[in-house]
């Protein structure tokens, strides 16, 4: 749990220069990403940013048109047995077989995974209050997500991949999902990769974050580092200025007259010294939420 990032062991997921087009739309644009072993990796981006396409490449559901994808050091398209058996996956649309009963879904999924833990599966079913005889198609949105989570978790995968797990769910089910993420990584060495647009959840549970925008990775770093190196600084200049000088790492700038607010990437002391150097006084200096950092990066 105290292993420093980036972890010294080889990455669990590695995409190198992957490009993927659908017709004339570029979904992934020369994208490289490395997910270290252990911990929670949060993939954040807006709708259509490429999150789901990226995840489908790690599962071998899509083949890289250019570039390479490796999961556990293996190509998931060429070696689905060696990769998929070690991954638990909850898709965004929770595409479960509608005609099955919950009990049947569990037995059916069990057949694919030698490491399926029957006692754990039963425990999850009870904790999630799922009726073994209920038909998948009759489940509520929340219960359907829980059923999907159950079959993703019960073989105790080395890598748990969740695509927008909280999307459209009530807070109680979201708590179950966050709890499952935390329990999964608290067991030594396991990894969670999840995509989300609910950035307060990502801020709570992720060790590491990548921001994806228009098929490219804009930023990837440890959560602590991202929080430490983004600040909103308000400067007061001696005189009114039309266009204030840029600070190093300025992502956005707003204000008028002698008071201007900068969103900057940089360490706190460094920003203060830079402000002094351009003859300004720091009148406010605030930490930013992940949500604000995301917006400033995407619109920079």
Q: Please, which residue, 61 or 221, has the CB nearer to another protein?
A: 221
Segment lying near another protein (by CB under 8 A), choices 58-66, 103-111, 178-186, 245-253:
178-186
Determine the interface stretch with another protein among 108-116, 119-127, 134-142, 181-189 (rule: CB under 8 A): 181-189
Smallest distance from another protein to CB 180, Å: 10
Whichever of 17 and 183 has its CB closer to another protein, that residue is: 183
d(CA 50, CA 20): 10
Least distance in angstroms from the C-beta of 236 to another protein? 16
Tell me if 44 sits within 8 A of 196, measured CB to CB. Answer: yes
Single residue of 186, 238, 240, 269 touching another protein by CB under 8 A: 186
Contact flag: residue 172 with another protein (CB under 8 A): no
Its sign, for the CA torsion 75, 78, 84, 85, is negative
- Residue in 182, 246, 277, 278 binding another protein, rule: CB under 8 A: 182
**Closest to another protein by CB, 20 or 232:** 232
Among 21, 183, 273, 299, binds another protein (CB under 8 A): 183
Query: DSSP characters for the chain?
Result: --PPSSPSSPPSEEEEEEEEEETTEEEEEEEEEEE-SSEEEEEE--TTSSHHHHHHHHTTSS--SEEEEEETTB-TTT-HHHHHTTEEEE-TT----TTSBHHHHHHHHHTT-TT--HHHHHHHHHHTT--TTSBGGGS-HHHHHHHHHHHHHTT--SEEEEESTTTT--HHHHHHHHHHHHHHHHSTT-EEEEEES-HHHHHHH-SEEEEEETTEEEEEEEHHHHHHTEEEEEEEESS--SSPPPPTTEEEEEEETTEEEEEEES-HHHHHHHHHHTTEEEEEEEE--HHHHHHHHHT-
Q: How far is residue 265's CA from residue 102's CA, in Å, rounded to a whole number?
A: 48
- Decide: is 88 part of the binding site for another protein (CB under 8 A): no
Over the window 268 to 297, marking each residue x when it contacts another protein by CB under 8 A and - when it does not, the resulting string is ------------------xxxxxxx-----
Number of residues this chain uses to bind another protein (CB under 8 A): 29
With binding defined as CB under 8 A, does residue 159 bind another protein? no
- From 150, 185, 211, 251, residue interacting with another protein (rule: CB under 8 A): 185
CB of 190 to another protein, least distance (A): 12
Write out the binding residues for another protein, residues 214-243 only, by CB under 8 A: 223-224, 227-228
Residue 170 near another protein by CB under 8 A: no
Dihedral pair phi/psi, residue 97, rounded to 5°: -65, 115
Give the nearer residue to another protein in terms of CB position, either 20 or 37: 37
Stretch binding another protein (CB under 8 A), from 78-86, 195-203, 244-252, 269-277: 195-203
Q: Phi and psi for 177 in degrees, rounded to 5? A: -70, -45
Nearer to another protein, 2 or 243 (CB): 2
State the residues that interact with another protein by CB under 8 A: 1-2, 39-40, 175, 178-179, 182-183, 185-186, 199-200, 203-207, 223-224, 227-228, 286-292
């Amino acid at each position: 749990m105290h292993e420093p990032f980036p972890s010294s062991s080889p990455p669990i997921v590695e995409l190198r220069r992957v490009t993927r087009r659908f017709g004339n739309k570029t979904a992934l644009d020369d994208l490289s990403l490395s997910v270290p072993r252990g911990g929670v990796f949060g993939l954040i981006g807006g709708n259509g940013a490429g999150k789901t396409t990226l995840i489908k490449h790690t599962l071998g559901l899509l083949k890289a048109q250019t570039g390479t994808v490796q999961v556990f050091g293996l190509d998931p398209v060429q070696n689905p047995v060696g990769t998929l058996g070690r991954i638990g996956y909850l898709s965004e649309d929770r595409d479960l077989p509608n005609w099955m009963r919950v009990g049947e879904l569990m037995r059916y999924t069990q057949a694919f995974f030698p490491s399926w833990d029957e006692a754990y599966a039963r425990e999850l079913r009870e904790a999630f209050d799922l009726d073994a005889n209920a038909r998948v198609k009759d489940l509520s949105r929340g219960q359907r997500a829980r059923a999907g989570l159950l079959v993703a978790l019960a073989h105790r995968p080395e890598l748990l991949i969740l695509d927008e797990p909280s999307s459209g769910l009530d807070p109680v089910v979201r708590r179950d999902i966050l709890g499952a993420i935390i329990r999964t990584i608290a067991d030594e060495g396991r990894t969670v990769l999840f995509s989300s647009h609910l950035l307060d959840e990502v801020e709570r549970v992720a060790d590491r974050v990548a921001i994806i925008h228009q098929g490219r990775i804009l930023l990837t770093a440890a959560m602590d580092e991202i929080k430490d190196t983004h600040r909103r600084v308000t400067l007061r200049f001696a005189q009114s200025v039309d266009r204030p000088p840029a600070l190093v790492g300025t992502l956005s700038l707003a204000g008028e007259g002698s008071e201007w607010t900068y969103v900057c990437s940089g360490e706190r002391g460094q920003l203060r010294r830079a402000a002094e150097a351009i003859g300004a006084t720091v009148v406010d200096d605030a930490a930013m939420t992940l949500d604000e950092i995301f917006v400033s990066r995407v619109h920079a």
